[in-house]
Amino acid sequence: MKYKTSINYSIETLPWAPYIPKGSTHLILGTFPSQQAKRKIDFYYPNPANRFWKVMANLAEHQLQYFEGKEAVNERLAILDQLRVGLSSMGKKIIRFGNSSLDDAIHAVEYLDVFSLLEDYSALHTLVLTSSSGNSSTLAWFRNYLLLNAVKLAIPKKIMLPFETQMYFKNRSIRILVVNSTSGISSKSFNYLLEQYRKALVQHSFN
């Protein structure tokens, strides 16, 4: 009998550059886009099952009209422009096991260079991390990136979301806001997520 000894995996590189509108004060960071088969647009959060763009459109008081093609991308760019919010993924290159879009099925081998973005975009003062649980969460990957650059981040062992901390980068205080994922498999209600992202992006406070 022939037994299986190899793992089905693929190596993927983030297909899009960070999108940061002029004057952006916040940069939202996710983990990595869903697998290709589940992407309906050629931009971040391409899986329609994820509630991210519904949340963002609501914050911009906009009713989404397009869900595929270039029109959908332009519509989402306009939302980010209006909110003055940047968007990218913490993973720049990943290994994906099987065809899963779950964070547990991806492993980062190269991270987004966040410090270079902070240098290039001086108005940025807040990073919003969109997941915190497990070794393949945005928070875990961000902390790994910091450790690669000999920077520590004060995080309690047990985190209750939403969570806020800060770090210093070249004499700048950078707020770190950790929020719940908008994934379709998240147990959090849309209204709960909307209020959490409103506080992070519009009210600038969880209080």
Each residue's pLDDT tens digit, 96-149: 998 887 778 899 999 999 999 999 999 999 999 998 887 889 999 999 999 999
- Rounded Cα distance between 157 and 148, Å, is 20
Strands 106-111 and 91-97: antiparallel
**pLDDT tens for residues 140-174?**
999 999 999 999 888 877 888 899 999 999 999 99
**Residue 166 bridge partners (DSSP):** 175
Tell me the mean pLDDT in the region 29-47. Answer: 95
Structural domains of the chain in order of their starting residue, each with its CATH number: 9-201 (3.40.470.10)
Tell me the mean pLDDT in the region 70-75. Answer: 98
H/E stretch holding 40: none
pTM for the full model? 0.94
| Closest by CA position to 33, among listed 24, 41, 25 | 41
C-beta separation of 34 from 46 below 8 A: yes
> What is the Cα gyration radius of the chain?
17
Cα three-residue angle 40-45-47, rounded to 5 degrees: 40
Query: One-letter amino acid identity for 28?
Result: I
